[in-house]
Amino acid sequence: MKKKLLLGLGVLFAILLGVYGRDAIGLYYLVDTIETDAKAHDADAGVWPQVVDGCNGCHGSQGNSLHQRYPSLAGQPAAYIETQLRNFASGERSYPAMGPMAMILSEEEIKTLADYYARHKAAENTWFKPDPSLREQGMQLVKAGACAACHGENLMGQGAFPRLASQGADYLMAQLDAFADGRRVDPAGSMQAITAKLTADERKAISHYLASLAPKTQ
């Protein structure tokens, strides 16, 4: 009797496995994938809730934006990110979405964000295809303007100066325009002085060139 019962259970298990086995295996892999991703996410940005989660929508996963309008933060110098967040919080630098978000950040959270993005590798801006003639013109203008003196040899940023290489073309253009017409200022006044001498077409050319540069470590 016991053998018959065990045999019956074995047959039932085999039938259930045949009917639901594929779904059960799929569910197992789904749960395993979710757990693996969650562990990787926690290892990357700390335990939940993570302050970086509020930034991903515009600035992309690990700070590499897929939108030409929003800047990539990956590879930006920590000092630059800290300064800009404080400027947004104080109103010294204005942008509708950034002001309210920066105002609620603590000093610890500002440093956490700055360190997080600074340690991630900047990705190439493969979503942008520059106009060849504008890119060439922009390269000449960048060389003539000695942009590398402040922004680093490969325009990857240093200290308080941001990474320009591989940024979104629309974002670069918007910032150059903002410096040119006085909506954005820098303490030394160098960016206002430089952009004041540039035409709108020249600013566009510079944007095309910088956006097309592949990130390189110095």
- Tokens 């060139």 belong to 209
Looking at the predicted structure, is the pLDDT value of residue 42 above 70?
no
Q: How far is C-alpha 157 from the geometric centre of its chain's CA atoms? A: 15
Q: How many domains does the chain have?
A: 2
Would you place residue 27 in the very low, low, confident or very high pLDDT band (cuts 50, 70, 90)?
very low
* Residues 10 and 70 reside in one and the same domain: no
Task: Please say if the pLDDT value at position 24 is more than 90.
Answer: no
Considering the domain architecture, whether residues 17 and 69 belong to the same structural domain is answered as no
Let me know if residue 28 belongs to a domain: yes
Q: What is the pLDDT of residues 108-125, one digit of tens each?
A: 999 999 999 999 999 999
- SS (HEC) of the chain: CHHHHHHHHHHHHHHHHHHHHHHHHHHHHHHHHHHHHHHHHHHHHCCCCCHHHHCHHHHCHHHCCCCCCCCCCCCCCHHHHHHHHHHHHHCCCCCCCHHHHHHCCCHHHHHHHHHHHHCCCCCCCCCCCCCHHHHHHHHHHHHHCCCHHHHCCCCCCECCECCCCCCCHHHHHHHHHHHHCCCCCCCCCHHHHHHHCCCHHHHHHHHHHHHHCCCCCC
pLDDT tens sequence across 195-214: 999 999 999 999 999 999 99
What are residue 199's phi and psi, to 5 degrees?
A: -80, 170
Bigger pLDDT: 182 vs 37 = 182
- Domain membership of residue 194 (yes or no) is yes
Q: To the nearest whole number, what is the mean pLDDT of the chain?
A: 87
- Give the pLDDT score at 69: 97
Residue at 21 is within a domain: yes
Same domain, 30 and 127: no
How many other β-carbons are positioned within 10 Å of the β-carbon of residue 6? 10
Burial pattern 200-210, b for ≥16 Cβ within 10 A else e, equals: eebbbbbbbbb
pTM: 0.79
Q: Confidence class of residue 6 from pLDDT cuts 50, 70 and 90?
A: low
Does the residue 67 lie in any domain?
Answer: yes
Q: Is residue 112 domain-resident?
A: no
Provide, rounded to the nearest whole percent, the portion of the chain with pLDDT above 70.
80
Q: Are residues 67 and 174 in the same domain?
A: yes
Is 54 inside any structural domain?
Answer: no
* Residue 96 in domain: no
Confidence bin at 68 (pLDDT 50/70/90): very high
Residues 128 and 196 in one domain: yes
Return the exposure string of 162-176: e unless at least 16 CB atoms fall within 10 Å of the residue's CB, then b. bbbbbbbbbbbbbbb
Residue 27 falls within a domain, yes or no?
Answer: yes
Cα atoms found within 13 Å of the Cα of residue 106, Cβ hemisphere only: 4
Summarised one tens digit per residue, pLDDT across range 71-103 is 999 999 999 999 999 999 999 999 999 999 999
Scanning the structure block, which residue is given the tokens 């104080």?
Answer: 90
Structure-model confidence comparison of residues 18 and 192, the more confident one = 192
Do 21 and 70 lie in one domain? The reply is no
Whole-angstrom Cα distance, residue 133 to residue 187? 33
Residues 172-192 pLDDT 10s: 999 999 999 999 999 889 999
**The two three-digit tokens of residue 178, written as one number:** 């903002």
150 and 192 in a single domain? The answer is yes
> What share of the chain in percent tops pLDDT 90?
74
Q: What is the CATH number of the domain that holds 150?
A: 1.10.760.10
Note the pLDDT of residue 5. Answer: 62
What pLDDT, on the 0 to 100 scale, is given for residue 34? 42
Same domain, residue pair 191 and 134: yes
Separation in Å, CA 8 to CA 1, 4, 21, 95: 10, 6, 18, 70
Q: Give the residue numbers spanning the domain of 18.
A: 1-36
